[in-house]
Amino acid sequence: MKGIHWSRYREQGFFLGIKFLYLLHHRIGPLAFKIAVYPVVLFYFLKNHSGRRAIREYLQRLSSFCPQANVKPNGYTSFRIFLNFSASAKEKLEAWFVGIPRSCVNFPNQPFLHQLAERGQGGILIGSHLGNLEVCRALGSLHSTMKINVLVHTKHAKKFNRMLQLLNSDSQVRLTQVTEITPALSMQLSESIARGEFIVITGDRIPVNSTGRTCNAVFLGHTAPFPQGPYILAALLKCPVYTLFCLRSSNGYDIHMEALCKRVEMPRGNRELHIHRLIELYAQRLEYYCCKAPLQWYNFYPFWSQD
């Protein structure tokens, strides 16, 4: 059955609730947040029928693919994912506007990333909606010379950049609103890579533009569409590609950065095959980290049956 495109799912109401909880947390205290979060999330959980079905589908496929994760695909587990998402949404705001203490970030490959920044070797970091990518996007604050360009679908990127500069003038992060890769955008990003900057883009949501290219790959034992855009962009920019995952842990955040390929090759007549192989590798890493943090998957739409 065909599903509604993810970009048509409305999350504004939930994010207004999260903004209220965030203000409650910082004006009154964390105890007020903990008390208020349950009715807010429960209301959204009961109202969002499609989100509940999508999460249940994910849990069912994860439990079959990775039984050692010991995840039960029931309503209680689904509600726990909604609760985790509310906490991660609060952490998104903290990552952008307050900053994440370095002591809370476990990032074994941080020295390698800093070396790349110091040598002026930029690249593409492909993230996902598993865990909290906003913590990774705040990596620019961990190194004075490292700049992060985040490609997003929101139409309010310019306003957000201004707000970010007002609240955190030291931020090395810049958002760029994009629905498709245009020649002008390619030139802009190419200049960023040449300056040794990094580009963050998610690899687990199909393009907003209906003409965007996708490629099917097996994910948690079933075929799902993945966007080709990140890999086509990497080929145009002639830069290395890394995967980037940030998982919540009891001690803070664990950031995992791995090399996907040194350069995306697009030989004539064989481009699709090479990109397909990279998407398969990405899907395998996404599977691996889903099994490590099964309750941190925040895709509230039918992932395996998308328009």
pLDDT digits 0-9 by tens, 158-205: 555 455 554 454 555 666 766 666 777 788 888 888 888 888 888 988
What span, in angstroms and rounded, lies between the C-alpha atoms of 39 and 50?
19
Q: What's residue 42's pLDDT? A: 86
User: Percent of the chain scored above 90 by pLDDT?
Assistant: 28
- 304/230 Cα distance (integer angstroms): 19
| Distances, alpha carbon 244 to alpha carbons 110, 179, 200, 254, 286, in Å | 12, 21, 9, 11, 10
pLDDT attached to residue 216: 93
What local confidence, expressed as pLDDT, does residue 293 receive?
A: 95
- pLDDT confidence of residue 307: 47
From 304, 290, 291, select the one nearest 128 (Cα to Cα): 290
With contact defined as beta carbons under 8 Å apart, do 235 and 253 qualify? no
| pTM of the predicted structure, to 2 decimals | 0.82
Higher per-residue pLDDT: 155 or 261: 261
CA dihedral 219, 139, 8, 4 (to 10 degrees): 0
What residue type is 31 in one-letter code? L
Residue 285 burial (C-beta neighbours within 10 Å; 0-12, 13-18, 19+): middle
CB 106 within 8 A of CB 255: yes
Sign of the torsion angle spanned by Cα atoms 70, 72, 73, 75 = negative
Element of type H or E holding 105? strand 105-106
